[in-house]
Amino acid sequence: MGAEVNPSDIRKGKRKLVEELAKDLDPATREAVTRVYENWKGEESEEELKRILGKRLSRKLIREANP
């Protein structure tokens, strides 16, 4: 079972957090990750993050963005 992200959290400051967590990525990847969070659709979005970042990094990002 994956972490649930409320899309409205992005507007409440999580966007900045997600961008900070993804700061070492190239700009296009960082924007893609931010877009996934803004349009969060549960497991579908988790799979998209895995495709973009890989399993390990996507899990880390989800865990750190949702303490």
27-62 pLDDT tens trace = 999 889 888 888 888 899 899 999 999 999 888 888
Rounded to the nearest 10 degrees, how much is the dihedral formed by the CA atoms of 41, 56, 9, 35? -60
13-29 pLDDT tens trace = 677 777 787 888 889 99
Domain boundaries defined on the chain: 7-65
Residues 6+ apart with CB under 8 A from 19: 30, 34
